[in-house]
A and B are shown apart, each in its own frame.
Chain A
């Protein structure tokens, strides 16, 4: 085997393993998407191609109230999450990055904690928070939004900070030398430079909110606060129709579209290298 002699060559078996892994990771999902277009009610036997589960009269994403309401609620929560998490996160990232002195370590740890906390712990904590400390808010849409913002915040901060580090202080210093007041340095120099990262973090927050499950389920109040994830969970074990596959596909389409758009924006404005490092970000 020639690869033994040449370690910088291309061992075929590694490529094979990688190829098989990629197929294993993606093909099941592709099949699930395929069955969303099934003409019949089965999720395991192909009965022809059709859009009925997306736009049909009954049981489709467009017309079945349960599916449609879940999709609407999911999108609503995602929009709220981005609207709150991004400004909060950008401000926190800026503050953390430039924080000198005591307290920065603790705040940094606090910010990182949600990333390593298991979702069920967060779900339980938030549930008890809204039952016992803020019963005026109680469970429901507001609670779900707050919960989602709480863990999305960390992702926004990490992404924006990454970009801040690579920008460096030179631009603001140059602006200061030219006599710009601090507020202008921020709004007219720093923020525009950060724009790609802000867009990227908004997309990430949107995607995370779309796919979130545990916290959203724990903080839901009744059927009107169901999201796509909760729908998938409660119906997957029963006898669902391909309508479930359809709504999962729609959710996936939203996520991928948002991320692709953000990736392109980031790449266009931030240069290729940072885009790669963004792509390898662990999330």
Chain B
């Protein structure tokens, strides 16, 4: 039998031909003076910018795709409701379904969802995505259609609007919004009037650790972020979040805390971003961190003892992932009072939704006190921005240990910290390059 690896002649021919083809194509390219750019298509258009002589009187704010403004706390944006995309009328009966939802995996309590199915006599189908970018890209490709999209945040809203993917909401179906939700989130700066979005959960970036294995009292330190740079003793058991914005913002917060200033975690300043990357890369030599998001499993198991964490993961770990014999009191969380990262993941409705009234009912269902609480405590660990949830009550009820008090985000904490929001194309590129450099090791 002729061994495939011995058919040298035909492979040689192949190589000769492919070399020839490659040469031919590149010559063709060079000869016709091909383009040489790395600016994405559509990045330059600037709609709504001040024009004419007045333009030079204003420091221009960075713009997003299609020239849309990038919402910031000091630059709130109201998304218009256009004639061709109106919310549904009042009083429509909920449709039969099924309700198609697009969400992160493991990000909603299956039991509470079952309760909704029973109450409204319908079925709920949840499709999952692994990252916000992936979700937006899939939606933009129009290959998939959903009634409800969950888990996205202010860092994606501009893309969603620019790609015309959302249907406006009718608040007459959502009485629980005003009743139960924190007022500052019921009318957020990235979507004034909550035309298109309704908050689902809030969380913050912080430090999660095993208080039985880490000698230092992290929360008592002047600048708790320093623990990562002093973690030689825990080499190999340290983790950093595998998310470019969260991870790179951490050294920014640390140096700002040392200097006593407020950092801009949505900065587009190349020097600041590169300094953050250099600081982060130092950790390689100090404690060789893993770059993962599995802290909710590795901390309970002791595989990592110190982790840059999302608050909800620590609570989820305490509620659900502790191995037998290990009490949740060994977990601790610290989150900054101010100048740190907070985020609010929201509900929004797909523009081509076939069951809009049912979708509204679903949102209202999960804005209900009891359902939101069950979703939080029984499964996800991520705090819903409900007025009546407070950490002390939860500790008293024995639901969470005192060491995790900070993992329940409070409204004043939320106000004092910053959300990670969408950047302009150039700014995003700076963060991407820094991350790529960090990841190269």
Contact = CB atoms under 8 A, between A and B. Distances in A.
Question: In the complex they form, do A and B come into direct contact, defined as C-beta atoms under 8 angstroms apart?
Answer: yes
Interface of A: 41, 105-106, 108-109, 112-113, 115, 131, 135, 138, 158, 161-162, 165-166, 221-224, 237-239, 277, 282
Contact of A238 (B11, B105, B298): B298
A166 B11 CA distance: 23
Nearest to B129: A222
A115 B11 CA distance: 12
Contact of A158 (B4, B9, B303, B321): B4
A166 B1 CA distance: 7
B225 to A, nearest CB: 25
A135 B294 CA distance: 32
A223 B1 contact: no
A162 B1 contact: yes
Contacts of B13: 105-106, 109
Interface string B106-143: 00000000000000000000011100000000100101
A105 B297 contact: no
Contacts of B368: none
Nearest to B15: A109
Contacts of A165: 1-2
B7 A112 contact: yes
Nearest to B301: A239
A198 to B, nearest CB: 16
B151 interface: no
A196 B17 CA distance: 37
B128 A223 contact: yes
B128 A222 contact: yes
Nearest to A220: B130
B76 interface: no
B129 A135 contact: no
Contacts of A224: 127
B323 interface: yes
A214 to B, nearest CB: 16
Nearest to B13: A105
Contact of A282 (B5, B14, B297, B298): B5
Summarize A's interface: helix, strand, loop or mixed. helix
B151 to A, nearest CB: 13
Interface string B9-27: 1110110010000000000
B127 A222 contact: yes
B4 A239 contact: no
Interface in B248-286: none
A109 B10 contact: yes
Contacts of B298: 238-239
B300 A239 contact: yes
Interface in B357-383: none
Most-contacted residue by chain A among B4, B105, B141, B324 (CB, 10 A): B4
B292 interface: yes
A121 to B, nearest CB: 14
Contacts of A135: 141, 143
A102 to B, nearest CB: 11
Contacts of A238: 294, 297-298
Contacts of B127: 221-224
5 contacts: A105-B10, A108-B10, A109-B10, A115-B4, A162-B1
Contact of A237 (B294, B321, B323): B294
Contacts of B2: 161-162, 165
Given A41-B323, A222-B128, A277 B7 contact: no
Contacts of A131: 141
Interface string B322-347: 01100000000000000000000000
Given A106-B13, A239-B297, A112 B143 contact: no
A221 to B, nearest CB: 8
Contacts of A109: 10-11, 13-14
A223 B110 CA distance: 15
Interface in B56-85: none
Nearest to A163: B1
A106 B17 CA distance: 10
Nearest to A157: B4
B328 to A, nearest CB: 15
A158 B1 CA distance: 9
Nearest to B321: A239
A49 B105 CA distance: 32
Nearest to B105: A223
B14 A106 contact: yes
Contacts of B143: 135, 138
Given A238-B297, A239-B294, 6 more contacts: A41-B323, A106-B13, A109-B10, A109-B11, A131-B141, A138-B141
Contacts of B9: 105
A18 B246 CA distance: 50
A166 B143 CA distance: 49
A115 B4 CA distance: 10
Contacts of B7: 108, 112
A41 B5 contact: no
A162 B105 CA distance: 47
Contacts of A113: 14
A162 B7 CA distance: 13
Nearest to A165: B1
4 pairs of A and B residues whose beta carbons are closest in the complex: A239-B297, A109-B14, A162-B1, A238-B297
Contacts of A221: 127, 138
Contacts of A115: 4
A112 B141 contact: no
A277 B323 contact: no
Contacts of B138: 221
B105 A239 contact: no
Contacts of A239: 294, 297-298, 300-301, 303, 321, 323
B208 to A, nearest CB: 15
A153 to B, nearest CB: 13
Contacts of A108: 7, 10
Contacts of B4: 112, 115, 158
A125 to B, nearest CB: 15
A105 B14 CA distance: 8
A237 B1 CA distance: 43
